[in-house]
Amino acid sequence: MDQILSLAAENLLSPIILFFVLGFAAAYAKSDLTVPEAVAKAMSLYLLFAIGFKGGASVASHGVDTALILSLVAGVVLSFVLPLVAFALLRVMSGLDVTNAAAVAAHYGSISIVTFVAGTSVLDSAGLAGEGFMVAVAAAMEAPAILAALWLIARYGDKTNSEEMDGELLREILLNGSIVLLIGSFLIGAITGADGLARIESFIVAPFQGVLCLFLLDMGLVAGRGLRSAAGVLRPGLLAFGIVMPLVGSLFGLAAGILIGLSAGGVALFMVLSASASYIAVPAAMRVALPEANPSIYLTLSLGVTFPFNLTLGIPIYLAIARTVTGG
């Protein structure tokens, strides 16, 4: 417990967390502080490019092995199973209807790449490094959760509202910009290896932390405004779910990482991925697949509740547990 509290206190005083808190507080106080949309988009592209390329270069040095294959399989399985767990918890804790519960559940099987990036930053500060192929696992965990939500609707929802896997939805899932850039950068990094990384290291390594701080300032602004505007929608059961589900998901990631035999850093990152909730790829897909679901519920839960929890308390908890269990 002392280790967790120490890590949490250290993480809370890190620049990336403090910039998120600044944005959140500014939005809640109705400040006119804003980050231009074009700038926010550029920072998002930069972070996806940097983390994908560095992960690919790491895999080029590490090589393809059993741990990589097992991690990819485990990621896909978890991405499909976690929405089923989330759906059951939502029905018990909040009483949401099937459609909204399925839409929310999809977000908690998919991943937040920004939470993943923040997790890698915390690991670096703690002197730990996760396996480079965890970037590929993050990409693999995007789509299965959406399929799980559609299955839940087909199984428990109104049959007339069930969605087919039509071309538009399939395109939304597979060609989502964040996934394309992340996977593409990962493949280019894997192809070019250490030599490619050395050529652009000054662009994707040194500026990374500063860009991440500014991006999280923007995320804090978005989260604060969303939580303020949707305060009447989020009942106590839903708010509790937004904190309980990440903890439950992290335990699934812990089990997967240990069974595969990952390092302490790899186990911690698997926990971060399993605990995070999407607020980019899945909302876009839900607009197509389940247009009748209420965005103010699933977006505010994932971005306004779970995301801040993971940034401030969740990541230190996952890291401390991973260290304790693996002896790392």
Q: Are 149 and 289 in contact (CB under 8 A)?
A: yes
Contact partners, residue 163, CB within 8 Å, separation at least 6: 150, 153, 169, 289, 290
* pLDDT tens digits, one per residue of 139-192: 888 788 988 988 888 888 764 444 455 566 666 666 767 778 878 888 999 899
- Residue 95's identity, in one-letter code, is G
The pLDDT, as a whole number, for residue 173 is 64
Q: Are 303 and 225 in contact (CB under 8 A)?
A: no
Helix boundaries (H) for 205-235 = 208-229
Helix boundaries (H) for 13-65 = 15-28, 37-62
* Structure-token match 């507080």, residue found: 25
The pLDDT, as a whole number, for residue 11 is 65
pTM for the predicted model, two decimal places: 0.82
Phi-psi group of 163: left, alpha or beta (phi > 0 → left; psi -120 to 50 → alpha; rest → beta): beta
CA angle 249, 250, 256 (to 5 degrees): 95
The pLDDT, as a whole number, for residue 169 is 63
* pLDDT tens digits, one per residue of 68-83: 899 999 999 999 999 9
The pLDDT, as a whole number, for residue 28 is 85
10-residue mean pLDDT series, the chain (328 residues):
63 81 90 91 88 84 84 95 96 90 94 90 84 86 86 74 55 70 87 92 90 89 81 82 97 96 94 92 79 86 91 90 87
The pLDDT, as a whole number, for residue 161 is 46
